[in-house]
Amino acid sequence: MLDALSERLQNTFRRLGSSGRIGEQELDEALREVRIALLEADVNFKVVRDFIARVREKGLGQEVLTSITPGQQVISIVHDELVRTLGGEDAPLLKPDSGPIKILIVGTKGSGKTTLAGRLALRLKNEGHRPLLVSTDFERVAASEQLQVLAKSIDVPCYVEAKEAPAVDVAKRALAEAKKQNVTAIIVDTVGAVALDDDTADGLAALADEVDPTEVLIVVDAMSGQEAVTIAKEFHEAIEGTGIVVTKVDSDSRGGAVLSVREVTGLPIKLITTGERLEALEDFHPERFASRVLGMGDVVTLVEKAKASLGSRSVEDMTKRMRSGQFDLEDFLGQMEQVKSMGPLGGLLDMLPGASGIKKQLGGVEFNDGFFSQSEAIVRSMTLQERRNPEILNGSRRRRIARGSGTTPQDVNRLLNQFKDARKLMQAMTSGKGAGGIMRMLGM
């Protein structure tokens, strides 16, 4: 997602970066491009209008700092205003003062509610809670079955009723059951609405009254664009949501929903989901997401993902080695398996600064498991000394390694070059101070 928007913005800023001074005219020219880029990404036009106005005002009002170029200054204003558009602060899930956490999930059909219920149950369980999943969806027989299957796969109890009954009644009995089972988190899945008519709105309001939730999450499908944002607003007006969850952020939607939904609904985005696997649930961080949009990458999320799958000691180690440029092919090999377990590589790459540029540079090389097994085979054909210090590999060794790994000398050379680039990138990423460091690295 967001590749097109990211790329356009980067192009615009690259042009700015080369000019010595930015006057009103240059600023307006740049902002015109930013506006087009946002509109093409399907961002709500009012959100775009306000955004551009804020950036312009700040841009004109600001003294030009001597330490950075005017281009960098504009980027930093755009970044800050993007963060603001996305909600500014992180908005964690609410915790009740006493009693169980109660989460009510609402949204349109097919937006990912039932899957989200499963994801939340899994997360809460991993945090030490005893969750109970509740289905109030009778529209299809398969609806409650789907939740039951999910519940079973993560070994969490699930409350469903075989006979159709009003959602309010089901919820009442589910809450009683929750008390008996001494659960600490209740997650209520609801029937999806295509549009929010009065009946549906009343039904949901009654359900919310009964459940008295700590959190009403309105699910927005990133793939349905502005339409989903409008419906989210209607849901909020009907039952007062507490937060937004944007699903399918992994899809190649243009990003308009994520960038608009906070301003249009006034509700914070709390979570995003980025894949079909239950684990693909992320806390939403406006700051990091803005960096992702601007192609500065999302190094923090990347490091957190790595932490989750590597254990923090090896991450610290690795980061230290990356920073000092000591990361060698032996480390590379050691991490390969674990990197594979971090999820689809395309997604990981999107979090890196300038990812679209990197992807292009890599040209024909597919960053998939095939790429990994080939790389692994090549590294395994080297001696330990060579892995520690790839610079010593001469032409004849490279040919032997190619033969040993069933690849060609070109493959070996390409891997070594990529590794060299990656090591540079890692060093810059880990030693830079936040966005500033990353921008410096990108030469912006």
Instruction: Summarize as ranges the residues that interact with ligand GDP (CB under 6 A).
Output: 107, 109-115, 192, 247-248, 250-251, 273-276, 280
CB 349 within 8 A of CB 292: no
CB 69 within 8 A of CB 17: yes
Q: Residues near 342 by Cβ (< 8 Å), separated by ≥ 6?
A: 305, 306, 309, 348
State the residue number with the nearest CB to Mg ion. 114
Give min distance, CB of 338 to Mg ion, in A: 33
Residue 320, binding choice from Mg ion, ligand GDP, none, Cβ under 5 to 8 Å by partner class = none
Residue 112, binding choice from Mg ion, ligand GDP, none, Cβ under 5 to 8 Å by partner class = ligand GDP
Nearer to Mg ion, 79 or 113 (CB): 113
Nearer to ligand GDP, 181 or 368 (CB): 368
Two tokens, residue 406: 């069933």
Angle at 103 (CA atoms; ends 97, 104), nearest 5 degrees = 140
> Which residue type, as a one-letter code, is found at position 40?
E
Nearer to Mg ion, 235 or 332 (CB): 235
Give min distance, CB of 286 to ligand GDP, in A: 19
What is the C-alpha to C-alpha distance for residues 440 and 380, in angstroms, rounded to an integer? 35
- Fill in the DSSP letter of residue 267: P
Residue 405, binding choice from ligand GDP, Mg ion, none, Cβ under 5 to 8 Å by partner class = none
Residue 243, binding choice from ligand GDP, Mg ion, none, Cβ under 5 to 8 Å by partner class = none
What is the C-alpha to C-alpha distance for residues 259 and 245, in angstroms, rounded to an integer? 13
What is the C-alpha to C-alpha distance for residues 149 and 144, in angstroms, rounded to an integer? 9
What is the C-alpha to C-alpha distance for residues 371 and 357, in angstroms, rounded to an integer? 19
Give min distance, CB of 195 to ligand GDP, in A: 15
What are 216's strand-pairing partners? 104
Give min distance, CB of 247 to ligand GDP, in A: 4
Residue 251, binding choice from Mg ion, ligand GDP, none, Cβ under 5 to 8 Å by partner class = ligand GDP
Query: In what helix (H) or strand (E) does residue 95 lie, and over which residues does it extend?
Result: none
Nearer to ligand GDP, 267 or 393 (CB): 267
Whole-Å CA distances, 329 to 227, 375, 396: 48, 10, 19
Nearer to ligand GDP, 83 or 278 (CB): 278
Nearer to ligand GDP, 347 or 409 (CB): 347
Nearer to ligand GDP, 53 or 141 (CB): 141
Please name which of 183, 191, 188, 82 lies closest in space to residue 140, comparing C-alpha atoms: 191
- Residue from 12, 44, 72, 114 binding Mg ion (CB under 5 A): 114
Residue 312, binding choice from ligand GDP, Mg ion, none, Cβ under 5 to 8 Å by partner class = none
Give min distance, CB of 245 to Mg ion, in A: 13
What is the C-alpha to C-alpha distance for residues 26 and 373, in angstroms, rounded to an integer? 48
Note the residues at the interface with Mg ion (CB under 5 A): 113-114
